[in-house]
Homo-oligomer: A and B are copies of this chain.
Amino acid sequence: METYTSIPEELKLTVLERIQPTEPEREKLLAIQKELASQVKLAAEKLGVPGVLVKMVGSAARGTWLSGTHDIDVFISFPEETSRKELETLGMAVAKEVAKHAEHAEDRHAEHPYLNIIYKGFDVDLVPCFRVASASHIKSAVDRTPFHNDFVKPRIKGHEDEVLLLKQFMRGGGVYGSELKTQGFSGYLTELLVISYGSFKNTIYAACSWKPGEKIDIMQHGEIDHEEPLVVIDPTDPRRNVAAALSLDKFCMFIDHCREFLKSPELSFFFPASLLPLEDSEILEKLESRKSTQLAVVFKTPDVVEDVLFPQLYKMEQAVAALLKEYDFTVIKTGVWSGNTETAVMMELISGTLPNVKKHIGPPVWVKVHAEKFKEKYQAEDGVFGGYIENGKYVFEIRRKYPTAKGLLEDRLRSCSLGKQVHQSINESFEIIEDAGICRLKDPDFRVFLRKWI
């Protein structure tokens, strides 16, 4: 059995003091929720839409929200027999009626449209959904959420603080949030972990020994196999893995965060010191110290939500690395940063230049037809340095097409397989900046990213 330092109660209290919503905060949230519920009902009546019910879901409704966050999820539920088209048009009509009282409103799309509004300083999602009989018979992905609420709320009662601690701890480790940018732990997943393990502490202890394939099935009703590193069967849907969005690296980062925390349980694991943007002089110093090549593919940030943008950026990151490798450049690491105006896909290389000469190994001499074809082809080619036999194979020293990574990307990036909006932006224009050239990017958020990068 492992022996770990226990987690001091005092530390937990210190954290809770900073993240528990205050009484006035709680009261305000409740009041806003009530207001929004009646606004939705009024709007439905006003528009003559029948059968509408309002449901408050999410952490705000379950008492597991962190102080300072102002997110409210209002589900506008329609009878199951409503058509998808009706749900969308009537649902959005009701939402837009409510939005008349909001400071700001914005149409958004996930599987189907919803309205995001700023209402009295709160960030509110107004989400039309179907009122289905069970979570396994949902007509739309969002229909599941009310069932999650029903499952969690009674079970988490009295353990809300444990959820708050775990959420804040995950935030501190950079693994909280199931958006496609983060690929970490969702709020619902965090709640299920506390329900399953019983407490913050037990979750931390357990996670230290997690391995990919770790399975948690509270209702013991899982029906299918899942490939993801962590499998937490949805208590409301036996076919769904709640942790499906969690990447292997975020899974591992959480394990690591738990182990380190138990070695010396400190406040910084919940509230890490914020990083300062890197100054130009620091960048130059670090480049000189590393002596590798830094490459940034910089382009205008496409005007789409992060859940659309980031999968495209990650795809581009892979494509650029594969292109570089295909042309013999050695990639040390890759990264992605996206700001309001500019986006950068970062590559660190062993070297951004390669010699002109490239060793091209052909078939064994005795594989006659292939070997002779190979030899004829390269013997006749322009700029061939020479040929010889090595380990029984024909080898030609040919002229490298792209001796610089910059030249390669400038010439071939557009023909990479890229996502739609990223491809559009890259097609408009992009720039390859190298080494000290990255000082051109002044966005403080990029400079914070750089501090972790180099």
Chain A residues within CB distance 8 Å of chain B: 208-212, 229, 248-249, 251-253, 255-256, 259, 289-293, 328, 332-333, 348, 350-351, 353-357, 359, 364-366, 368, 372, 375, 385-386, 388-392, 394-395, 397, 403, 452, 454
Contacts and interface: CB of A to CB of B under 8 A. Distances in A.
Nearest to A288: B356
Contacts of A368: 208-209
A354 B365 contact: no
A211 B375 CA distance: 17
A305 to B, nearest CB: 27
A392 B252 contact: yes
13 contacts: A212-B392, A248-B391, A251-B392, A252-B366, A259-B372, A290-B355, A290-B357, A290-B385, A292-B356, A333-B388, A348-B357, A350-B354, A351-B351
Please indicate which of the listed interface residues A255, A366, A395 has the most CB atoms of chain B within 10 Å of its own CB. Answer: A366
A332 B351 contact: no
A366 B259 contact: no
Contacts of A388: 333
The 9 residue pairs across chains A and B that have the minimum distance between CB atoms: A292-B355, A252-B365, A211-B366, A291-B355, A290-B357, A291-B356, A248-B392, A252-B389, A252-B392
B390 A249 contact: yes
Contacts of A256: 365, 375, 389, 394
Given A290-B385, A366-B211, A249 B391 contact: yes
- Count this chain's copies in the assembly: 2
Given A211-B366, A249-B390, A252-B365, A357 B372 contact: no
A253 B208 CA distance: 60
Contact of A365 (B255, B290, B332, B391): B255
Given A211-B366, A259-B372, A392-B212, A356 B290 contact: yes
A348 B386 CA distance: 14
A333 B328 CA distance: 16
Given A256-B365, A259-B372, 16 more contacts: A212-B392, A249-B390, A249-B391, A251-B392, A256-B389, A289-B356, A289-B385, A290-B357, A291-B356, A291-B357, A291-B403, A332-B355, A332-B357, A333-B388, A333-B395, A350-B355
A209 to B, nearest CB: 7
A390 B333 contact: yes
Nearest to A372: B259
Given A259-B372, A351-B351, A403-B291, A389 B249 contact: yes
A356 B289 CA distance: 7
A152 B428 CA distance: 78
A386 B452 CA distance: 8
B366 A210 contact: yes
Contacts of A255: 365-366
